[in-house]
Structure 1
Amino acid sequence: MASNHHKPLLVAAFDFGTTYSGYAFSFRGNPNKIQTNSTWYAGGGSSKLMSLKTPTSVLLNPEGQFDSFGFEAEDKYAGLAEDDEHHDWKLFRRFKMVLHSNEHLTKDVTVEDICGKRMKAFPLFVMSINFLREHLLEMVTKQMIGIEETDILYVLTVPAIWEDNAKKFMRDAAVAAKIDPNRIKLALEPECASIWCETLGMDVKGAESIQGAQYMVVDLGGGTADISVHEKTSDGNLKQIHKASGGPWGGIFVDENYMKMLGRLFGEKALIDLQHTEMSDYFDITREFEQKKRLFDTVKTKHFIVRVSASLRKLAKKHSKQSLEDRIAALDIQENSITPKASDKLKIDGTIIQSWFKRPIDMLIQHIRSLLAEAKMKRVQTVVLVGGFGESPYVQERIRNEIPAVRMIVPEDAGLAVLKGAVRFGHNPAIVCSRIMKYTYGTKVFSEFDEKKHPCDKKVWKNGGWWVPNCFNVYARVNEEVRVEDQVTMIGTPYSKVSLTPVYRTIQENPEYVTDPGCELIGTVRLENSIDIPFEEQDIEDTFVFGDTELLVKTKNMATGKEAFMTFECFK
């Protein structure tokens, strides 16, 4: 974990998003002067907002090596496809979602490229972080001659709702991208947004700067909705008052609904062919929709006019004799909701577009309502909405209309709030002073048999006495508030040359045994003890460090000074 002993000269934050990625940085002397790279260019030209980040897309050459990232990767692949030279190349897009609620996450988890070819995801994360790092270093060294990489603290943003193993996956990818593990700090996305809002104008700041003010931050990105609830403390720091929550309700689900409709209108085969052979047309369709999606609102947007490439219509004819008009008529929609215009355009009614947004936003609103209904949330009267999808007027309108009891604030440049807040967090990680536990954590131990507490059938005879195996030794409980860097240490004695400490978690508040339903082994600490000192003279300290953005579990032999850290079960 990043050390705070000496303040870094520069903090650089990477926002590795589902759909878009980018970076920002600022120098120690002026931490609020945050710079972003604003020169990401798409082949077809793009708006200012899109150029502040670049698509999370990686292109690999025929040897499987990294070629390019972002718009450049997509445009190069499109060029290769036009000349029919793309067959041995692989383009991967939107692969971050593989880390969301992946219970069986391992380093061997695979993702598909744009043509359905699979490969391990881990190298793609490493390549992406390495690309962002090199791009950043090039930009920074132009501004400050002689800056060393050891002067930089790197902050990687991750969803607060991610599991411990997904965070570890991300950290390991950064280390594999040649970043010193002591200069990496993981930051939780809604917390970063909250920190950035602190620096903004009075409208935003006023709602959350009063001591004791409680507010909800909804970070709505491409893949997930990530929600945290914070309170402003008397010393100006932030404390979390509800464990992080959310779900897969981001903007990519709207895109998927649009592509499904195109599949129904032109045929799935035609769409797949377009993706494989007329790649630049495919990207034009997706990029144009991205622009329009961001502007859609139910009042001003009566309809969309979208451009459909001639190549898609040609491919549709090749695969089916049915006309576009017949396909539209076959859809179960109101008359004139979709109308062909000229030879390359479609007019789509606002009610159809609204239906593409509906499900993810229904889920989000239902979730926010259920959170606000909880007793401890009574004082929460403000919702701060950030993230790229949070900039959607439709999303804002629905939250305002359907949750009228709270005041909703959308800061300017909401899509960059996380990135900029992550830079501020890197300069002052102590600004978040406490967090709420998402799980009960503990270790598996033998407990002395107690007939008042333990059933007789659980006891075993061991070392001259009756013991109960598989007991859950709790170190911290779900929904407990823990201060950052809070440590819980327990002391025991080793029985053998190697001490294995299995670490468990559960959403139950008072688990008795690690075999209880819902208890999950997340990792093990393996420590070698001395055979030259009697075991009963060797004290073993098991320490859990809570409250930070990452869980840390370590075991120390006090007699030998040897230390070991938890290895995640999934990454053995």
Structure 2
Amino acid sequence: MTDQFLVAGIDFGTTYSGWSYSFKHEFDLNPTNVATKHWHGEQLVSSKAPTCVLIEPDGKTFSAFGNDAETKYSQLAGNPAICQKWYFFRRFKMKLYNKTIKREMEIEDETGKKVKATTVFAVAICYLKNDFLSIINDRISGVINPAEIVWVLTVPAIWDDGAKQFMREAAVEAGIPAEKLTIALEPESASIYCRNLQLERSGGEHTLSTLKSGTKFLVVDAGGGTVDITVQEITTNGAMKNIYKASGGDWGGTKVDDAYIKFLADVVGNETLLEYKRTHMEDYLYLISDFEVKKRAVNLLQSNITVTLRISVTLSELVQKIKGKTLEDLLKESQHSSEVSLSRDKLKFEIGFFVTFFKPQIDSIIDHVSGIVEQQNVSEIEAIVLVGGFSKCLLLQQAFKSKFKSFKIIVPNDGDLAVLKGAVIFGHKPELISQRVSRYTYGVESLFPFIENVHKESYKVICEDGKPGCEHLFDKHITSGQYLDVGEAQVKQVYTPSTSWQTYMPFPVYCTLDQNPMYTTDDGCHYAGTLTVPFEGSGLDREVDVRMIYGGTEIEVEATEVATGKVHRIKVDFLS
């Protein structure tokens, strides 16, 4: 990528989202000098805004984002008949995790009403884009040429190709030019930022900036929805290469919120909580927001404190109406009567019980990281870097320091902004990541000559030239765990049409964790998308030279017609 005048990053998070930027001259002086916006809410001032979108009753028209969306929806909630016609989405990013993504898929809002998913994501990205442009134009009006802006959109490293493509298409729908858009992987962005931090901003006695070439370290990007984990090594030129495939799971901070909501549902009943959400959305949002503030502010390592959360009187009234009992009575009847009490409008938790909301997620993260560091091919890790919003949790930090005593534990002061700021650095200098590791074995479904006593007889077909072929064969391109040098083609193959009249050939792309699949029908093989290779002219002797680059954040394909030299830059369609 050539030098750009301005790089803008968008960190589209599960819980919070924001934008960041730096000019080329600022980057040259100090790569970490990345500007962000301060968003103001009723209870928090943050460098990110809540990932909330309000859409008008037509299901298409954008109304508000972030704190504004929460406030406006809360006001609408005063009139349930009107409010139920609007669409309110929050924390909807996880709708793309571990799912089969299609272009026309719909997602549900907070009350179960459905809207096309690309509409929701696109209007959110569009708002962040326009908000950035309005502020930057106020700063230097008339100077910015849109062609000089590179946009970087972050996604979890553990997302599959369909989810990445979905985010790209949503960003293009939001008005970001496709040729100016770069997809960045969240833990990579975080490590790039931390690599440039000096000691005083690295949160302790260790920093990545002083580590020598050859040093291996592990990055744990603990966000609101997912926890992304990568293992990297510092190269001789100061760049970083991944040495283990990205992994992780849905163990982020929102699971802590879910545990709190489950506790309430256990006490008052699911039907009561759903009715409360439907009829008193403003109070319900405040309940969640108050918990969010407390889970950040309370020192969870103290043993003799009580955590107090406010409960609106409307919940007590609804409980009395539906259950015929007071909320206080239900708490006394619950299994948590000795650990939780009610005093007027305040729920009071013993700290020992309050931390149980966090424990399952923290245990899952620690167990997963333990499994990685025990792998032989990632031995000699010296440091573990904790970033992301959930990394601010003292319980999580303490768990890492206790479990991994022989490692340098690095928790940057602004680790919750590491992805947001690192995305901008990546946009200026993407070559800072020189190698990635494939999570899957990729290949295409192909037809090859049939081999007796090797291929399945049931897959035998007769081709146009009269010779027997075998269908459903897995033509492997790369293997799970394979090192992928960024920018280099991992696959160079020549394809010919199977019929004389073909003008294009669609190759179904498959992926699997199996390193040596034979057929695309093998257990564990999944259809991922379609690669369409063009053929001009006619006849069976037309050849197309296909180069596939798997080492980028997105798969790149270049197809050259051998006879004419015509080059096609094509994409694998993972959303078909």
Q: Which runs of 5+ in 1 are unaligned?
A: none
* 1:264 and 1:327 in contact (8 A); partners too: no
Shift of 1:200: 1.1
* 1:295 and 1:392 in contact (8 A); partners too: no
**One-letter code of the match for 1:509?**
Q
Question: Given the alignment, which residue of 503, 517, 524 partners 2:523?
Answer: 517
Aligned length: 557
* 1:527 and 1:564 in contact (8 A); partners too: no
Question: Given the alignment, which residue of 467, 477, 497 partners 1:494?
Answer: 497
Question: Given the alignment, which residue of 179, 183, 186 partners 1:182?
Answer: 179
The Cα offsets for residues 36-89 of structure 1, whole Å up to 9 and x where unpaired, read as: 011x221x232x4xx211111001122331000000000011112125542322
The Cα offsets for residues 236-270 of structure 1, whole Å up to 9 and x where unpaired, read as: 01000100000000111110111122223344344
* 1:526 and 1:564 in contact (8 A); partners too: no
Kindly indicate whether residue 551 of structure 2 is the aligned counterpart of residue 552 of structure 1: no
* More moved, 347-356 vs 448-457: 448-457
Q: How does 1:343-492 map to 2 (within 5 A)?
A: 343-451=344-452, 453-454=454-455, 459-462=460-463, 463-487=465-489, 488-492=491-495
- Identify if the C-alpha distance between structure 1 residues 555 and 516 changes in structure 2 by more than 3 Å, giving closer, same or farther: farther
* 1:58 and 1:91 in contact (8 A); partners too: yes
Instruction: Output the CA distance in 2 between the equivalents of 1:367 and 1:81.
Output: 42
Kindly indicate whether residue 72 of structure 2 is the aligned counterpart of residue 76 of structure 1: yes
Q: How does 1:171-320 map to 2 (within 5 A)?
A: 171-202=168-199, 203-206=205-208, 209-300=211-302, 302-320=305-323
* 1:446 and 1:470 in contact (8 A); partners too: yes
* More moved, 183-192 vs 450-459: 450-459
Shift of 1:473: 1.9
* More moved, 12-21 vs 481-490: 481-490
- Identify if the C-alpha distance between structure 1 residues 311 and 473 changes in structure 2 by more than 3 Å, giving closer, same or farther: same
**One-letter code of the match for 1:12?**
A
- Structure 2 residue aligned with 1:114: 110
* 1:305 and 1:345 in contact (8 A); partners too: yes
* 2:196 and 2:209 in contact (8 A); partners too: no
Instruction: Output the CA distance in 2 between the equivalents of 1:79 and 1:452.
Output: 72
Normalised by the length of structure 2, the TM-score is 0.92
Shift of 1:453: 4.8
Instruction: Output the CA distance in 1 between the equivalents of 2:174 and 2:456.
Output: 52
SS at match of 2:124: helix
Shift of 1:310: 1.3
Instruction: Output the CA distance in 1 between the equivalents of 2:271 and 2:562.
Output: 66
Question: Given the alignment, which residue of 54, 71, 79 partners 1:59?
Answer: 54
Kindly indicate whether residue 322 of structure 2 is the aligned counterpart of residue 331 of structure 1: no
* 1:501 and 1:524 in contact (8 A); partners too: yes
Normalised by the length of structure 1, the TM-score is 0.93
- Identify if the C-alpha distance between structure 1 residues 116 and 459 changes in structure 2 by more than 3 Å, giving closer, same or farther: closer
**One-letter code of the match for 2:177?**
D
Shift of 1:410: 0.6
Instruction: Output the CA distance in 2 between the equivalents of 1:243 and 1:35.
Output: 31
* More moved, 360-369 vs 79-88: 79-88
Shift of 1:395: 1.2
* 2:316 and 2:326 in contact (8 A); partners too: no
* 2:51 and 2:65 in contact (8 A); partners too: yes
* 2:195 and 2:209 in contact (8 A); partners too: no
Kindly indicate whether residue 130 of structure 2 is the aligned counterpart of residue 126 of structure 1: no
The Cα offsets for residues 422-476 of structure 1, whole Å up to 9 and x where unpaired, read as: 0000000011001011111122223334457546665544324343333222221
**One-letter code of the match for 1:530?**
E
Shift of 1:527: 3.9
User: Identical aligned pairs, as a percentage?
Assistant: 36
Instruction: Output the CA distance in 2 between the equivalents of 1:441 and 1:316.
Output: 54
* 1:156 and 1:186 in contact (8 A); partners too: yes
- Identify if the C-alpha distance between structure 1 residues 527 and 547 changes in structure 2 by more than 3 Å, giving closer, same or farther: closer
* 1:296 and 1:392 in contact (8 A); partners too: no
TM-align CA RMSD: 2.0
- Identify if the C-alpha distance between structure 1 residues 229 and 198 changes in structure 2 by more than 3 Å, giving closer, same or farther: same
- Structure 1 residue aligned with 2:150: 153
Kindly indicate whether residue 12 of structure 2 is the aligned counterpart of residue 16 of structure 1: yes
**One-letter code of the match for 1:198?**
R
Question: Given the alignment, which residue of 509, 517, 542 partners 1:503?
Answer: 509
Instruction: Output the CA distance in 2 between the equivalents of 1:504 and 1:297.
Output: 48
Shift of 1:542: 2.1
Shift of 1:366: 0.9
- Identify if the C-alpha distance between structure 1 residues 529 and 394 changes in structure 2 by more than 3 Å, giving closer, same or farther: same
Instruction: Output the CA distance in 1 between the equivalents of 2:208 and 2:248.
Output: 26
